[in-house]
Amino acid sequence: MSANFKFLLISIAFFTACNSDSSKENTPAPAPAPAATAIMPADSTKTYEQALVDNKKDPSCGMPVTAGVSDTLHFKNKVLGFCSTECKESFLKDADKSFAAVEFKK
């Protein structure tokens, strides 16, 4: 082997060893991002403006929406306001029957 060829091989081996990043091997992988379809917990402190809903009273308990709306539901092209998530869940148990009794704003 010629001296130039040996020098070239040694140089390649040296640069390859220097360029390898061993710090990446010890770095933990980042935590995965939450899935886009994750269901977020309801914010029970959120309230909605009564002007945004189509009903006068909570269809489950009869409370006027002027007293406060904390949950809503889009149903049959209407936005229904409920005083609580529990009233909304009660409505959904028999939604068609409950919807027939809703008193809408004029």
Q: For 3-30, write each residue's pLDDT tens digit.
A: 777 776 677 766 666 665 555 566 677 7
Look up the pTM and report it: 0.54
- Residue 54 dihedral angles phi and psi, to the nearest 5°: -95, -15
Contact 65, 58 (CB under 8 A): yes
Q: Is 74 left (phi over 0), alpha (psi -120 to 50) or beta?
A: beta
- Alpha-carbon distance of 11 to 102, in angstroms, equals 84
Map out the domains of the chain as residue ranges. Answer: 50-100
Mind listing the pLDDT tens digit for each residue in 61-81? 999 988 889 999 999 999 999
